[in-house]
Amino acid sequence: MDRIEKALRDAKFLLIRDAPFLASRILISKPTLFVNKHFPAATDGHVIYITKSKLEDVADDELVKVMTHLLSHEVMHIVLQHVARGVGKNKIVFNMAADIIVDTFLTSSILKGGILDTESHLNCKKQLESLTEFIHSVMDRLPHKEADMLEEKYHYSWYEQKIVKPFTVENLYNFLTELFELANVELEVGIHPMDEVIPREMDEEEKIETESVLEGIKSAGRLPGVLEDEYQTLIVRFNPIKFLAGIIGKALKSIEAQLRVPSRRGVALNSEYVIEGFKSSRGAKILIAIDGSGSIGPTEFGAFVGIVDKFSSVSSIDVIVFDATVQDFMEDYELRTKKVKFKGRGGTAIKEVIEFLVEHSREYDLFILLTDGHIFDHIPYKELPIKSLFISTDKPIEEVKEEYPCFNEYYKLDIVSLTIK
């Protein structure tokens, strides 16, 4: 391990200690050391690239600090989905806007007590200052009338030298584009490094991990107020149906992993051969219970089933629609031929559904409960017989977890933004 590899390892440890939310996302971005690139660090929205050759001149005692800054800077571009949001836009201008957002985030309260106190924070602050100074100097060149117009249109504060509201990368980008056009500024590549990588789409699991970083920071009360708009933009951008499908995809992976555990005797499993105590490697059978009194409608549900159906590891989906009692039970083939009816009578009890699950647990691999969370009875089990996901469309997860602790995973689905794209 050379000194740069060692600095990368130490920077990861520092971030796990000081900024765990960011660190968790950094670890799945597999920071990779590269050579012969033009910039010290870059991301394709997926992997973080660190340029080894750019760090060779950095002194030993500075190296970890620089590395910490690079990792947290790049991962914030990932968390805020800047790569995907910048597609089709002027790369230099967009990168400038995205860097202002990221460095604002890193210099505000989020990492207090952590990397904020180090040189890496100063690097970050310096970078932010030079960017805002540059913008300010361009604003200076404009006639008063035009400068006033821009300030009003983009809520730019001359005094604070920044966009006040809405502080999103798109708004900043539009502001900069118009400003540079009015002031006749020709940007050189040298003004600011732009990422030299091909954007790559995140897979569903990465998206969920990414969203959970933001949710985590937000619920820990550590999202700087100035980033509230950027946060809202991202949450709305998030497609809840894909989000749901992602949750299920993730659960299926763990089920598959269990199914593929080889037996001690080394007996291979295949689709026709089932040994007592083992499940075969057939596709997973899913049981979904939908609370008809909740806010999930047939259209949303249809789109959801359409996506889950595409998972090759799913062999079938059965559905229970319930409110105070079970209203409907549909097996896989029925589900495909007729529409699920939602009765929505209000009043939800879960007893019958859970009794059904316990009785038929051998037939299923995954149980999903879709409900608004307002249920008037309780479940007399410490744990459910199969992997179970509780998805609440209204009641907060903390309350749901406390009332129904027998599920494996809990998710909150923002039904207000449930739209089909």
**Block residue for tokens 């050391």:** 33
Nearer to Zn ion, 99 or 209 (CB): 99
Closest approach of Cβ 83 to Zn ion, in Å? 10
Closest approach of Cβ 127 to Zn ion, in Å? 9
Closest approach of Cβ 321 to Zn ion, in Å? 48
Buried b (16+ CB within 10 A) or exposed e, 390-417: bbbbbbebeebeeebeebeebbbbebee
Peptide bond just before 166 cis, omega within 30 deg: yes
Tokens of 329: 């039970």
Nearer to Zn ion, 124 or 369 (CB): 124
Contacts of 303 (CB under 8 A, 6+ apart): 241, 420
Nearer to Zn ion, 49 or 410 (CB): 49
Q: How is 13-69 classified by DSSP, letter by letter?
A: HHHHHH-HHHHHHHHHT--EEESS-SSSEEE-SS-EEEEGGGGTTS-HHHHHHHHHH
Nearer to Zn ion, 99 or 300 (CB): 99
Nearer to Zn ion, 46 or 285 (CB): 46
Residue 139 near residue 158 (C-beta atoms within 8 A): yes
Nearer to Zn ion, 99 or 211 (CB): 99
Closest approach of Cβ 82 to Zn ion, in Å? 8
Closest approach of Cβ 396 to Zn ion, in Å? 35
Closest approach of Cβ 96 to Zn ion, in Å? 9
Q: 129 to each of 100, 124, 132, 167, 265, how far by Cα in Å?
A: 9, 9, 5, 17, 65
Closest approach of Cβ 51 to Zn ion, in Å? 13
Nearer to Zn ion, 104 or 388 (CB): 104
Using CB under 5 A, list all residues that contact Zn ion.
99
Q: Which amino acid is at 306?
A: G
State the residue number with the nearest CB to Zn ion.
99
Q: How far is residue 342's CA from residue 328's CA, in Å, rounded to a whole number?
A: 9
Nearer to Zn ion, 99 or 229 (CB): 99
Closest approach of Cβ 375 to Zn ion, in Å? 46
Q: How far is residue 363's CA from residue 331's CA, in Å, rounded to a whole number?
A: 12
Task: Using only the alpha carbons of the chain, give its radius of gyration.
Answer: 26
Residue 32 near residue 47 (C-beta atoms within 8 A): yes
Nearer to Zn ion, 99 or 206 (CB): 99
Contacts of 289 (CB under 8 A, 6+ apart): 319, 320, 321, 322, 353, 357, 367, 368, 369, 370, 371
Residue 94 near residue 168 (C-beta atoms within 8 A): no
Closest approach of Cβ 37 to Zn ion, in Å? 14
Residue 142 near residue 183 (C-beta atoms within 8 A): yes
